[in-house]
Structure 1
Amino acid sequence: MRRDARALARASHYLSDHPRLTFSIITRYEILRGLRASGASGKLRTFEQFCSTCEVLPLTDEVVVCASGIYADLHQKGQLIGDADILIAATAVQARGTMVTNNHTHFGRIGGLTLDNWLV
């Protein structure tokens, strides 16, 4: 969310109806690797504190099976995206959740995935 006022307002609204934010363990990995690679120790601590208030969804066999179907579908269409993004999308599909992203063009190719953009 990078402290965008619109995203923060949408998160606040979401939290008025839900106990916590939820995201994929793959998302956690992507953020952690970026923070560690850049040596951002202060941001790393802040992110770890943030994670302690969230639900981090695990990578399960059901998610992997769903992801393989997404991969096959995108491969057939010639519209592949990265494996990490496929796993994140499959996590949202399996959780019957809404994936919040600013990249609807990228993730909109995935059938059964509900998207929202908190930056608009």
Structure 2
Amino acid sequence: MLNAKRIFHHNIQQAVELGVLYDHLSSMVTIPEQLDDLLRSQIVNAVSAFDKLMHDLIRIGMVRIFENQRLSTSKYLSETVAMQHLPGLVVDAIPPPAVRFEEIIREKLSKFSFQEPTKIADGLSYI
């Protein structure tokens, strides 16, 4: 989870740098309307960084539950796995079951966005 936090801080820093670029350019150029897109990009990048952090934390947390390194939640226990994935989750499977489980979770989470409080809370309830 520390790596997810590190990536988040890096992505937020890039968003901050867009604001610095806007400040610098707006003090030198006299067409602020065209520079406003930099500020919009800054907001989009910040929201995207947070969304990615949520995806990473939920995925990592669910894999840790799968590996018995973390207690399961009722939301986690109620999650279904398609029958097609079961052969990849047996003990002797290659790649190892935890790796395959992470792929399954990554695919499932790719359909969600964590940009609204209720969706964030719902996502975090998995872990």
Please give the TM-score of this superposition, normalised by the length of structure 1. 0.34
Decide which structure has greater strand share: 1
Decide which structure has greater helix share: 2
